[in-house]
Structure 1
Amino acid sequence: MFTILSQKALLWSLILLVCHFAISCKANQQSEYLYKLIQSKKSQEKDFSSHEEAYYLSDFSDEYVSHEHDVEQQLRLKEADKVKALPGQPKGVDFDQYAGYISVDAKENRKLFYYFVESPLNSSTKPLVLWLNGGPGCSSFGYGAMQELGPFRVNSDAKTLSLNKHAWNKVANVLFLESPAGVGFSYSNNTSDYKVGDKTTARYSYIFLRNWFKRFPQYKTRDFFIAGESYAGHYIPQLAHVILSKNKGKKSLEIINLKGIAVGNGWIDDNLCSKGMYDYFWTTALNSDETHNGIQKHCHFKSYDESDECDEYQNISYNEVGNIDIYNIYAPVCNTSTTETSPSENIFDPCSDDYTTSYLNQPKVQEALHVKATKWSPCSNVLNWTDSPTSILPTINGLRSSGISIWLFSGDTDGRVPITSTRYSINSLNLPIHTAWRPWYNYKEVGGYLIGYKGLTLLTVRGAGHMVPSYQPQRALTMISSFLQGKLPPKSDS
């Protein structure tokens, strides 16, 4: 029996190597880079042992925070970053947008790219939201801004843009950050800076924020929220921890006014998220009973030191899933032979990665964004990821006592980081329930379900994949609007 299993496992492992590492299967690269990180941990090629919280969130000095207080100079820098118009953008754009670099080291060798869109109505009173995508090493601009919650979507001609009817800048001012250096347009003049991990990403994202607020001082005291998805399940809690730690003892004008975090389909615990993924495969009829039973019997999900039998059954599990979009199990896969179309409000084009990459590599687009000429790609091929804690749950649990709002939301058709993974992770904390499980509504339809715990809320978004705002833009906007207002989404269809 296991001779046959081993042959199948070897064959499928070779297929996975081609698909996942050459990225030739038209997959969402953000989640494929997560897969690569998990595989590298599993193979123990690097020391990815679970470090205590102090290791990756240890205190550091503010030596790289800009102390430039020349208001006129900062105003000039801000005006230089203003985007007059993106090539191919439609008529009717009624909001200001900015793009450029913020230096995060003393010698200005390491620069992080940002894209910022203000709200078209009452921007001076609306909160500020920082959006982070995962990977690790994938672009918050190429995914978050151009394919998910940003004001534009790239059309299939890869030259023109359409307005996103459900963009999040309708309810907030939204800042997209490509982090760390080496991702997207962000760069360093020292290649040694591309040896990074969770620890350095949190540090330099914090320094970025402190320096960005000097360029946009009107947002210093604004209510501030962090949202994101996938491996941002690490980025966001870690950055929140750094912000709250660094706020202590600072003057009021130096404090970052963090009010809450929202993590979508977040990878937050290696073992529990892996177990949840395989269980999801079975419960959604992607795996056979025999394979599920084999995984249940041979896989313990307590460390990466699993048996050969476990590895073989897991490989067979992938084989049984077949050629589907694992990040939205009911969505079509990219077919480049289809005719050119404009993005539909409710149907996300699975080839959007291709359109976005082509668009952002146009010289006129890069000129409009004030970046140096770059071969832009959705995810970085130059980073060497060095530290990644096995679980981020201790950090999340610690944040619960800080008073900030913590939401974990999950598109329920994502197979890579499914709702089962998030539920297993939360359940391991044994938190008391404050709000019983119930549906929430969006325009007289069930938008998803929620349950409130002490200091933490879990929400599902019905019919959404890994990139929730891409697949269910209207429901995502209702959800984030409620989050920013400090209330739960509607509980009735009235």
Structure 2
Amino acid sequence: MGSSVFFVICLAILYVGSCYSLSDQEKDRITELPGQPTNVGFAQYSGYVTVNQMAGKALFYWLTESPEARNPESRPLVLWLNGGPGCSSVAYGAAEEIGPFHVQADGKSLYLNPYSWNKLANLLFLEAPAGVGFSYTNTSSELYTAGDRQTAVETYAFLLGWMERFPQYKHREFYITGESYAGHYVPQLSKIIYERNKGVENPIINFKGFMVGNAVIDDFHDYIGTFEYWWTHGLISDSTYKVLRVACDFGSSQHPSIDCIRALRVAEREQGNIDPYSIYTRPCNSSSSLRRNLGGHYPWMTRAYDPCTERHSEVYFNIPEVQKAFHANITKIPYPWKTCSDIVGEYWGDSPRSMLPIYQELIAGGIQIWVFSGDTDSVVPLTATRYSIDALKLPTVINWFPWYDNGKVGGWSQVYKGLTLVTVTGAGHEVPLHRPRQAFILFRSFLLNNPMPSSVQ
């Protein structure tokens, strides 16, 4: 790259705080991860992009490209975000859901995910905001001021800086996906990109659409739908359900009343020792005997569901050799890598009550939107999602129908004008963890923007 061209690029991204040459991309290449299978057949990169030079703030990413045999240069780029707020996309999205590698129970080795989404797209996992995972800031006060708006702005700055480092992805079809509180991250980032792209003939970030799962969308409808789910699934008593509906009025107040908090505590006791993210599977207890006996208890899953997967990640990503291979923790942050930050979520700032106005704006702008929901999640359940979508009052294009996988119902779907809703039967909060094959089919349909397969064959 000529010096004059490099100078222009530096000026263009000066506000991000970094300038990159093509060699920076090669420095981020991962040669091999400790404990990974041999002959994986795809390229992977990881490292940092500075998003605020003054605060010394940099976000950590992990890119897993499509296998060479699947022509990665012709595949779209998909950004995956996890929520919390304060939880790591490397821990969840990459290491136990849609990424090509999952962490073994020993926390020291990896195995290939047969339903990895990188078979269909180049996957970019981002730990955001700073303070999550390996992402850091040299200004400690920044850890206590994170919020929705700042996260969206800095993620956008990350994307601009990252694409200077990876210019082959400029103008490539780009999608954003995520789950849970990323139901806030994804639409707000989408809005920024959409508005910045207005009037640009060939935008660098060629944004096409987004997809969110078991997503926080609208406080009022989410709570109504959550309490209804608990009651209709026999998790709480009639009396507690009635109290919750009266005491927890999230339509008029952002903070729960004392009566609401009391009712929520009663509901928690009534639900008992379950995994609220997957109500029909065992919770992760400290008992080693439980973990030894997990295998074979859930024969309907490709691999036995292990609710302790987060623990495996916390072992693996704290191994010094692993961090070195990832070019991570270069500033020697004074705390261990965790799946979710102890600080970021606790001190979260702005959090709008509803994402529905953004949905309306992007639907009007022709942006593709899909929403999916695992139907055994009681934290952000299907009923909450359905109430939120119903509030948009969108015309129906294809009415409610079952979709199939090998002749078996995989869930249900409804296609609205501007939005597609998909349910995944038997899946919890992390749909690709519980139903990896069905999630793969969902992702394929999303990229094609085709309705879910409705044929029994």
Deviation sequence 1:110-153 (CA, Å, 0-9, x none):
11000000000110111110000001111011111001110111
Question: Which runs of no fewer than 5 residues in structure 2 stay unpaired?
Answer: 1-11
Aligned equivalents of 1:342, 1:124: Cα separation in 2: 39
Coordinate RMSD, CA, aligned? 2.0
Contact 1:156 1:341 in 2 (8 A): no
Query: Which position in structure 1 is the counterpart of 2:160?
Result: 210
- Provide the C-alpha distance between the structure 1 equivalents of 2:399 and 2:157, rounded to a whole number of angstroms: 39
1:483 to 435, 446, 449: 446
CA displacement at 1:250 relative to structure 2:
4.2
Cα distance in 1 for residues equivalent to 2:442 and 2:327 = 33
The one of 340, 343, 346 aligned to 1:382: 343
The question of 1:339 aligning with 2:339 is answered no
Conserved? CA contact 2:227–2:245, under 8 Å: no
Q: Does 1:89 align with 2:36?
A: yes
Segments of 5+ residues of structure 1 without an aligned counterpart are 1-60
What is the distance in 2 between the residues matched to 1:193 and 1:148?
A: 30
Matches within 5 A, 1:269-308: 269-304=218-253, 308=258
Write out per-residue CA displacement over residues 309-334 of structure 1, whole angstroms, 9 at most, x where no aligned residue.
44433321121111100000011112
- Hey, what's the Cα distance between the residues in 2 that align with 1:123 and 1:392? 33
Shift of 1:299: 4.1
Residue identity matched to 1:268: I
Question: Equivalents in 1 of 2:394, 2:450: separation in Å?
Answer: 20
- Looking at structure 1, the residues matched to 315 and 247 of structure 2 have their Cα atoms a distance apart, in angstroms, of 45
- What's the offset of the Cα at 1:340? 9.0
Segment drifting more, 339-348 vs 278-287:
339-348
Per the alignment, residue 144 of structure 1 pairs with 93
TM-score, with structure 2 as normaliser: 0.90
Partner of 2:46, secondary structure, is strand
Aligned to 1:113: 60
Alignment-derived partner of residue 4 in structure 1: none
Q: 1:164 deviation in Å?
A: 0.5
Offset at residue 394 of structure 1 (A): 0.9
Secondary structure in 2 aligned to 1:421? Answer: helix
Q: Matched residues in 2 for 1:85 and 1:468: separation?
A: 28
Q: 2:107 matched to which residue of 1?
A: 158
Aligned residue identity for 1:289: D
Aligned with 2:84: secondary structure?
coil
Asked if the contact 1:162–1:342 (Cα under 8 Å) also holds between the matched residues in 2, the reply is: no
2:414 corresponds to: 451
Task: Supply the distance in 2 between the matched residues of 1:378 and 1:258 (Cα, whole angstroms).
Answer: 28
AA aligned to 1:232 is A
TM-score normalized by the length of structure 1: 0.83
Task: Report the CA distance between 1:251 and its aligned residue.
Answer: 6.2
Aligned match for 1:326, one of 276, 282, 285: 276
Instruction: Give the superposition deviation at 1:457.
Output: 1.2
Tell whether 2:119 aligns with 1:176: no
Which residue, out of 172, 175, 198, partners 1:225?
A: 175
1:347–1:471 contact (8 Å) kept in structure 2: no
Residue correspondences, number: 429
Other-structure match for 2:433: 470
Residue of structure 2 in register with 1:15 after alignment: none
Instruction: Kindly indicate whether the alpha-carbon contact (under 8 Å) linking 1:140 and 1:177 is maintained by their aligned counterparts in 2.
Output: yes
- Give the residue type in structure 2 aligned to 1:130: L
2:266 to 312, 316, 325: 316
Question: Counterparts of 1:318 and 1:210 in 2: how far apart (Å)?
Answer: 44
**Offset at 1:431?**
1.6
Q: Give yes or no for contact 1:346–1:473 (8 Å, CA) kept in 2.
A: no
The residue type paired with residue 204 of structure 1 is: E
Equivalent residues of 1:165, 1:345 under 8 A apart = no
Q: Which amino acid aligns with 1:347?
A: A
Q: Please state if 1:395 is matched with 2:395.
A: no
SS at match of 1:213: helix
Is 1:441–1:448's contact at 8 Å kept on the other side of the alignment?
yes
CA distance in 1, matches of 2:282, 2:408: 24
Contact 1:157–1:340 under 8 Å retained in 2: no
3-state DSSP of counterpart to 2:239: helix
1:360 alignment partner in structure 2: 317
**Alpha-carbon contact 2:248-2:260 (below 8 Å) kept:** yes
Instruction: Provide Cα deviations, 1:173-228, integer angstroms capped at 9, x if missing partner.
Output: 00000011111000011113221111110000001001111111111111100000
Give the 5 Å matches for 1:31-46: none
Which residue number corresponds to residue 4 of structure 2?
none
Cα distance 1:308–1:387, how it changes in 2: closer, same or farther (>3 A)? closer
